[in-house]
């Protein structure tokens, strides 16, 4: 999976907001995560338009999460900026039609999207901000090879 700098910056800023006790302005977020302020301002605007963030004007203004941190997944942030999690040439895997020997590729893309979603929809901003990751993530971090090379007989482990 390839994540753009824009998504990386958005996730880092959103995690700062999840850990914050009130609104944070662009400068505070930029300094905390060492993100270029102008670029971050554009990203935060996209997240606001995607209804992930709310903005507040005034001397104590800034950005805050639009919902509680435990209700915003990593997938929500990615979708707000880039649309569907896994697509091929801009199409959802279910919309693809291959012919001949390549026909089963559609199944691979559907499975890939499902595995991405399993993690990205599970992990919330609260999880990241507190460092309290879901059990599945802790298991995969402790033994990444278990998922990295599944076998036909043991799809979620190296066997």
* CATH number, domain with residue 11: 1.10.10.10
Please determine, for residue 148, whether its predicted confidence score (pLDDT) is greater than 90: no
Q: Are 21 and 135 in contact (CB under 8 A)?
A: no
Count how many domains the chain has.
1
- pLDDT category at 144 given cuts 50, 70, 90 is confident
Of 27-36, 56-65, 147-156, which range is least confident?
A: 147-156
pLDDT digits (tens, 9 = 90+) for 54-89: 998 888 789 999 999 999 999 999 999 998 877 788
**Which pTM value belongs to this model?**
0.84
**Cβ-proximal residues to 108 (8 Å cutoff; 6+ apart), any chain:** none
Residue 86 counted as domain residue: yes
Q: Is residue 153 part of a domain?
A: no
**Plot region of 109 (φ>0 → left; ψ -120 to 50 → alpha; else → beta):** alpha
Residue % of the chain over a pLDDT of 70: 91
For residue 118, what are the domain limits?
5-146
Region 81-104 average pLDDT: 85
User: CA nearest 65: which of 6, 39, 56?
Assistant: 56
Whether 159 maps to a domain, the answer reads no
């Amino acid at each position: 999976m390839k994540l753009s700098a824009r998504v990386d910056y958005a996730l880092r800023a959103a995690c700062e907001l999840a850990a914050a006790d009130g609104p944070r302005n662009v400068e505070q977020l930029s300094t905390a995560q060492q993100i270029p302020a102008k670029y971050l301002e554009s990203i935060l605007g996209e997240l606001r338009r995607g209804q992930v963030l709310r903005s507040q004007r005034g001397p104590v203004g800034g950005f805050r999460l639009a919902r509680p941190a435990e209700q915003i997944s990593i997938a929500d942030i990615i979708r707000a900026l880039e649309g569907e999690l896994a697509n091929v040439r801009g199409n959802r895997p279910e919309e693809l039609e291959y012919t001949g020997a390549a026909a089963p590729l559609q199944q691979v893309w559907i499975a890939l999207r499902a595995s991405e979603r399993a993690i990205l929809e599970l992990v919330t901003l609260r999880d990241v901000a507190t460092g309290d990751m879901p059990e599945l993530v802790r298991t995969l971090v402790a033994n990444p090879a278990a998922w990295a090379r599944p076998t036909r007989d043991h799809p979620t482990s190296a066997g």
